[in-house]
């Protein structure tokens, strides 16, 4: 069990550029979540995959954001035309199955700074 990994760990970009983040979940986990955490706040839910299907998206996820999980393995989160308000830590988590008691395991996050 190597844990959830995310790449890159840090990203600095200029406003208007596109960025893409990758998340590799724990291998046997079929559920994958993306969260966003801004300074001094708790993580906020963005979207969720079960296998390759994106089953829920938060209203926080504007049209500039898109997430994919081809083949139900790794996932990517792309932000188009970045804005300074997109600066945050983007967290990925995975869990083995559904249910309220299932633990979500978090990756180290990708910290995005939009200049």
Partner 1 sequence: GNSVTQMEGPVTLSEEAFLTINCTYTATGYPSLFWYVQYPGEGLQLLLKATKADDKGSNKGFEATYRKETTSFHLEKGSVQVSDSAVYFCALSDLRGTASKLTFGTGTRLQVTL
Q: Which of 42, 59, 63, 84 binds partner 1 (CB under 8 A)?
A: 42
CB of 40 to partner 1, least distance (A): 7
84 makes contact with partner 1 (CB under 8 A): no
**CA distance linking residue 82 with residue 88, whole number of Å:** 12
Stretch that binds partner 1, among 20-28, 64-72, 74-82, 96-104 (CB under 8 A): 96-104
Report which of 63, 89, 67 is spatially closest to residue 76, judged by C-alpha positions: 67
Report which of 90, 94, 95 is spatially closest to residue 109, judged by C-alpha positions: 90
25 makes contact with partner 1 (CB under 8 A): no
The count of chain residues that interact with partner 1, using the rule CB under 8 A, is 29
102 makes contact with partner 1 (CB under 8 A): yes
* DSSP state letters, 29-78: --EEEEEEE-TTS--EEEEEEETTEEEEE-TTS-TTEEEE-GGGS-EEEE
Binding site for partner 1 (CB under 8 A): 4, 31, 33, 35, 40-45, 48, 50, 55-56, 91, 93, 95, 98-109
């Amino acid at each position: 069990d190597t844990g959830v990994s995310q790449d890159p760990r840090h990203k600095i970009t200029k406003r208007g550029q596109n960025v893409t983040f990758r998340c590799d979940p724990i291998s046997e986990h079929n559920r994958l979540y993306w969260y966003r955490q801004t300074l001094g706040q708790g993580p906020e839910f963005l979207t969720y995959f079960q296998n390759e299907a994106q089953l829920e998206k938060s209203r926080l996820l504007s049209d500039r954001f898109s997430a994919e999980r081809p083949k139900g393995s790794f996932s990517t989160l792309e932000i188009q035309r970045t804005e300074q308000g997109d600066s945050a830590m983007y967290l990925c988590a995975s869990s083995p199955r559904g249910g309220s008691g299932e633990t979500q395991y978090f990756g180290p996050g990708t910290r995005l700074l939009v200049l």
